[in-house]
Amino acid sequence: MKKYIVIAGLLALAGCNNGADKAVQKKAGALDSEMAKFSYAIGLDVGKSLLGLGKGLDMPAFNKGVEASMKGEESELTSKQVSEVKKAVMERKKAEFIAKREKLALENKSEGGKFLQENASADGVKTTKSGLEYKVLKAGDGVKPTLNDVVKVNYEGKLLNDTVFDSSYKRGQPVSFPLNSVIPGWQEGLQLMPVGSKYRLFIPSKLAYGEQGAGNVIGPNAVLTFDVELLSIESPKAAKK
């Protein structure tokens, strides 16, 4: 279905470009009509779908292919050539991606290991048997949760370069979840925390997302830091589904 929507948008663009009215041609690209805005929106969708190809896409050749297809012209490439070039480029892109990830994994492992080694001797930092490092920012006097409890927390997560990748503070709302549903570093760290306390957790990658990483921000072998404030221990019904 999406394919046909994209084609419809490209047809609309072609219709505008083929118009004989010079005044319309001078305003090419101006978002001054509903169809122009629709065409622009479709262009955004197409652009986003091509992001994975990087910056190497030949736009004149791309536009030439779109125009030929829309006009029903004969392709300058045979079906075999189309298949072969698609396969070759995608295989090369995949190999480049894997090589980049492997390099990043090695860099993160080295950087993370060095950070944790130095951080372990920092003032106020304690280290558990698993390698989790933590620092008490605020001592609480409540009870400590168990692995089967539902906890309510405020938190902020950062990479070692101080990039904030998640924050309940920024969303303006704490979050509740079963403690046994999160990464091992959180499971262990929060069980050390009495209600009302706030800790800074320094989590080795093996206790976080490991070699896989998470999403587009947390890379492979990334060490993460979290400021976590344990607000309360709640019933299982409080956990978000």
According to the model, what pLDDT value does residue 236 have? Answer: 59
Q: Which of 125, 240, 144 is nearest to 190 (CA)?
A: 144
Question: What's the pTM value of the predicted model, to 2 decimals?
Answer: 0.70
SS3 126: strand
Arch. (CATH architecture) of 110-238: Roll (3.10)
According to the model, what pLDDT value does residue 154 have? Answer: 97
According to the model, what pLDDT value does residue 51 have? Answer: 78
Dump pLDDT digits (tens) for 99-121.
Answer: 999 999 999 999 999 999 999 99
User: Does 225 score more than 80 pLDDT?
Assistant: yes
Q: Which of 188, 197, 90, 57 is nearest to 130 (CA)?
A: 188
User: Does 13 score more than 50 pLDDT?
Assistant: no
Instruction: For residues 137 and 229, give the distance between their C-alpha atoms in angstroms, rounded to a whole number.
Output: 9
Mean pLDDT of the chain: 86
Dump pLDDT digits (tens) for 138-157.
Answer: 999 999 999 999 999 999 99
According to the model, what pLDDT value does residue 48 have? Answer: 85
Please report, to the nearest 10 degrees, the dihedral formed by the alpha carbons of residues 86, 90, 91, 92 taken in order.
110
Q: Pick the more confident residue, 68 or 28.
A: 68
Residues 6+ apart with CB under 8 A from 189: 132, 134, 199, 201, 203, 226, 228
Instruction: Name the band, by pLDDT with cuts 50, 70 and 90, for residue 62.
Output: confident
Domain extents for the chain?
Answer: 2-71, 110-238
According to the model, what pLDDT value does residue 70 have? Answer: 83
Half-sphere exposure of 113 toward its Cβ, with a 13 Å CA cutoff?
A: 7
Residues 6+ apart with CB under 8 A from 151: 145, 176, 177, 179, 190, 230, 232, 233, 234
Instruction: For residues 187 and 85, give the distance between their C-alpha atoms in angstroms, rounded to a whole number.
Output: 48
According to the model, what pLDDT value does residue 47 have? Answer: 83
Dump pLDDT digits (tens) for 172-224.
Answer: 999 999 999 999 999 999 999 999 999 999 999 999 999 999 988 999 999 99
Instruction: Name the band, by pLDDT with cuts 50, 70 and 90, for residue 1.
Output: very low
Q: How many other CB atoms sit within 10 Å of the CB of residue 61?
A: 10
In the DSSP assignment, the letter for residue 81 is H
SS3 216: coil
Instruction: Name the band, by pLDDT with cuts 50, 70 and 90, for residue 8.
Output: very low
